[in-house]
């Protein structure tokens, strides 16, 4: 990864004894969770996740936070604490660890997950990933770091209690209170209550994902009967599409399949990876046997259940391949059932609906969480947030893990729950946790990962890509002599603007105006004339301003 773009921030003065919170990502937009805590001149980081780019960054899928601030202070960074194994919390480790070079602390499942991930990036033996017990704690310089087990949609999620000489803050991570999580134990509510009992928790840095939801709390344990009944009703092949990291859901589906005498086939590399990580960590030990497509080649379709990656319509994943009939081993048929045991992440609606429609056109029965209760969110709804605040009784709430629409609503709600103070923060804001005041702010940007290069959202490459996507380009090439006289007819290409054959007359007009510009004296005047005359021709046909590139070679 090339870091040449990293900012050279001016060194700012930070009072050594202040207990500070500084988010570098995870607020203002969903994903890219990275938080810093400071005390006595030392720093710790909680989570180092990736974000997912939207259509404003064409050609970019992954986003990573700008770590310039902490990279300049890496000698004082004591460690990275990972709350859980979701990509938005640990996915940037392979991209950014090199910049920080400090130990990583997390519990067994997340250690195993990270090691698999680092192996893919050929970094496994370089990055020190240290295992902490579930509900365990460690001392890092002036910090005591306590992992508090909490339920979510992946095993071993933890809230982190960061304690210093001047007080503590609870970084909730992603969580919900699930009485039946299917995998792993329930949330460590007694410890949360104990923290609240002391009445001195300075701040809760808390998950805002579901603040706008009107739902009641949902439990993973409620899903089983519904999934079981849908599979039981089906007389043909059943496939289930889900988030690969949802180990509890894999368990639920595999138990339902087992009970209904169907063999379970995993389709997708990330499912195999997560199953291996789960089994290495002591989970999924009593599940149905997970098989490959070739293992069930001789079984009738009604004896098979497929678990598939790609519930968000990812084009290369198993669900998409089944939808466009390009999967090498299975073709869905009339009467088969496709269950989407997941929700659509905002932004992916069109892609996922195209897949639903493709299945329906094949005569496949499509079941989604819109009509059947077959998915449970991993994040807290209002009732759970209220319970959390009443347990831990923080002096202040700092909502994170959301866009501003979420954190803004969460600020109001925290106050309704009796939290004295609640503040909204943006990436780069520095909050003194003892006084509860925002004391400063640093400039923080983010990058799109473009192969091994990093791109700012407003870099010229990205701006150019947006323009080319929306309006195309017109490229003019001409060869002239030393006196700027044309030596051959100029060439005009207009990819994304005009059709070569249907629009040939317009292209000819452009060539003519290009030719006429070469009567002018200076090269600058020639270029200006070419551009302005192309724009005036374009105005007659299109309300667009494509990129105009004029290449003149002088021989």
Instruction: Tell me the CA distances in angstroms from 171 to 114, 263, 310, 387, 399, one per residue in order.
Output: 21, 41, 30, 16, 10
What is the DSSP secondary structure assignment for residue 294, as one 8-state letter? G
Minimum CB–partner distance for residue 403 and Zn ion (Å): 13
Nearer to Zn ion, 60 or 82 (CB): 82
Nearer to Zn ion, 79 or 155 (CB): 155
What is the DSSP secondary structure assignment for residue 301, as one 8-state letter? G
Nearer to Zn ion, 28 or 490 (CB): 28
Nearer to Zn ion, 86 or 406 (CB): 86
Minimum CB–partner distance for residue 162 and Zn ion (Å): 18
Strand (E) or helix (H) holding 89: helix 87-90
Nearer to Zn ion, 400 or 534 (CB): 400
Token couple for 449 = 């990962």
Q: What secondary structure does DSSP assign to 357-398, as a single string?
A: HHHHHTTPEEE-TTTS-----SS--HHHHHHHHHHH--SEEE
C-alpha–C-alpha distance, residues 283 and 286, integer Å: 8
Give the position of tokens 């195309």.
472
Minimum CB–partner distance for residue 276 and Zn ion (Å): 20
Minimum CB–partner distance for residue 186 and Zn ion (Å): 17
Residues at the contact surface with Zn ion, assessed by CB under 5 A: 86, 88, 174
Minimum CB–partner distance for residue 503 and Zn ion (Å): 48
- Number of residues assigned to the chain: 555
Nearer to Zn ion, 255 or 407 (CB): 407
Q: Is 28 exposed, middle or buried (0-12, 13-18, 19+ CB in 10 A)?
A: buried
C-alpha–C-alpha distance, residues 57 and 181, integer Å: 37
Minimum CB–partner distance for residue 334 and Zn ion (Å): 38
Minimum CB–partner distance for residue 31 and Zn ion (Å): 7
Q: Hey, CA dihedral for 369, 375, 379, 380, is it positive or negative? A: positive
Show the 3-state SS of 204-269: EEEECCCCCCCCCCCCHHHHHHHHHHHHHHCCCCEEEECCCCCHHHHHHHHHHHHHCCCEEEEECH
Nearer to Zn ion, 220 or 450 (CB): 220
Nearer to Zn ion, 174 or 434 (CB): 174
C-alpha–C-alpha distance, residues 126 and 97, integer Å: 10
C-alpha–C-alpha distance, residues 186 and 182, integer Å: 9
C-alpha–C-alpha distance, residues 74 and 231, integer Å: 53
Q: Quick one: residue 429, left, alpha or beta (phi over 0 = left, psi -120 to 50 = alpha)?
A: beta
Nearer to Zn ion, 146 or 156 (CB): 156
Minimum CB–partner distance for residue 87 and Zn ion (Å): 8
Minimum CB–partner distance for residue 282 and Zn ion (Å): 20
C-alpha–C-alpha distance, residues 79 and 63, integer Å: 22
C-alpha–C-alpha distance, residues 278 and 285, integer Å: 9
Minimum CB–partner distance for residue 205 and Zn ion (Å): 13
Minimum CB–partner distance for residue 445 and Zn ion (Å): 21
Minimum CB–partner distance for residue 289 and Zn ion (Å): 28
Instruction: Tell me the CA distances in angstroms from 105 to 47, 263, 500, one per residue in order.
Output: 10, 38, 59
Minimum CB–partner distance for residue 33 and Zn ion (Å): 6
Nearer to Zn ion, 88 or 450 (CB): 88
Q: Is 124 exposed, middle or buried (0-12, 13-18, 19+ CB in 10 A)?
A: middle
Collapsed DSSP state (helix, strand, coil) of residue 37: strand
Nearer to Zn ion, 156 or 314 (CB): 156
Among 89, 79, 96, which residue's Cα sits nearest to residue 6? 96
C-alpha–C-alpha distance, residues 90 and 114, integer Å: 8
Q: What secondary structure does DSSP assign to 165-183, as a single string?
A: TTEEEEEEES-B--S--SS
Nearer to Zn ion, 54 or 470 (CB): 54
Nearer to Zn ion, 87 or 531 (CB): 87
């Amino acid at each position: 990864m090339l870091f040449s773009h990293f900012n050279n921030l001016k060194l700012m003065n930070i009072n050594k004894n202040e207990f500070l919170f500084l988010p570098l990502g995870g607020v203002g937009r969903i994903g890219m969770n990275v938080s810093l805590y400071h005390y006595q001149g030392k720093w710790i980081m909680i989570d180092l996740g990736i974000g997912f780019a939207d259509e404003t960054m064409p050609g970019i899928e992954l986003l990573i936070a700008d770590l310039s601030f902490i990279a300049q202070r890496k000698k004082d960074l004591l460690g990275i604490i990972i709350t859980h194994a979701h990509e938005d919390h640990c996915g940037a480790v392979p991209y950014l660890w090199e910049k920080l070079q400090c130990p990583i602390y997390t519990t067994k499942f997340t250690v195993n997950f990270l090691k698999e991930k680092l192996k893919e990036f050929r970094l496994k033996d370089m990055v020190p990933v240290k295992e902490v017990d579930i509900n365990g704690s460690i001392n890092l310089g002036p910090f005591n770091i306590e992992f508090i087990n909490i339920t979510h949609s992946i095993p071993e999620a933890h809230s982190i209690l960061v304690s210093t000489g001047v007080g503590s803050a609870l970084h909730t991570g992603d969580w919900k209170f699930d009485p039946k999580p299917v995998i792993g134990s329930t949330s460590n509510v007694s410890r949360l209550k104990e923290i609240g009992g002391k009445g001195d928790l300075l701040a809760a840095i808390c998950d805002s994902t579901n603040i706008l939801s009107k739902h009641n709390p949902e439990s993973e344990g409620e899903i089983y009967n519904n999934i079981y009944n849908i599979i039981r009703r089906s007389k043909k092949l059943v496939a289930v599409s889900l988030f690969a990291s949802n180990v509890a859901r894999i368990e639920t589906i595999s138990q339902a399949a087992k009970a209904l005498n169907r063999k379970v086939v995993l389709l997708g590399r990330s499912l195999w990876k997560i199953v291996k990580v789960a089994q290495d960590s002591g989970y999924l030990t009593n599940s149905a046997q997970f098989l490959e497509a070739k293992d069930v080649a001789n079984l009738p379709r009604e004896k098979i259940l497929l678990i598939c990656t790609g519930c968000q319509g990812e084009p290369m994943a198993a669900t998409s391949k089944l939808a466009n009939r390009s999967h090498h081993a299975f073709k869905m048929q009339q009467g088969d059932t496709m269950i989407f045991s997941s929700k659509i992440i905002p932004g992916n609606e069109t892609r996922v609906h195209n897949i639903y429609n493709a299945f329906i056109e094949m005569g496949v029965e499509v079941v989604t969480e819109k009509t059947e209760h077959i998915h449970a969110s991993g994040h807290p709804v209002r009732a759970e947030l209220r319970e959390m605040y009443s347990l831990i009784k923080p002096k202040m709430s700092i909502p994170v893990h959301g866009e501003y629409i979420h954190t803004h609503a969460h600020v109001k709600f925290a106050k309704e729950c009796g939290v004295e103070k609640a503040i909204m923060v943006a990436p780069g804001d520095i909050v003194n946790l003892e006084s509860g005041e925002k004391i400063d702010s640093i400039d923080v940007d983010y990058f799109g990962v473009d192969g091994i290069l990093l791109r700012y959202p407003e870099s010229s490459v990205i701006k150019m890509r947006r323009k080319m996507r929306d309006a195309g380009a017109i490229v003019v090439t001409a060869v002239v002599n030393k006196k700027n006289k044309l030596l051959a007819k100029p060439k005009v290409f207009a990819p994304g603007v005009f059709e070569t054959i249907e629009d040939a007359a317009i292209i000819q007009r452009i060539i003519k105006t290009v030719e006429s510009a070469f009567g002018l004296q200076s090269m600058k005047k020639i270029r200006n004339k070419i551009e302005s005359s192309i724009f005036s021709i374009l105005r007659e046909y299109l309300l667009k301003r494509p990129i105009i590139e004029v290449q003149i070679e002088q021989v």
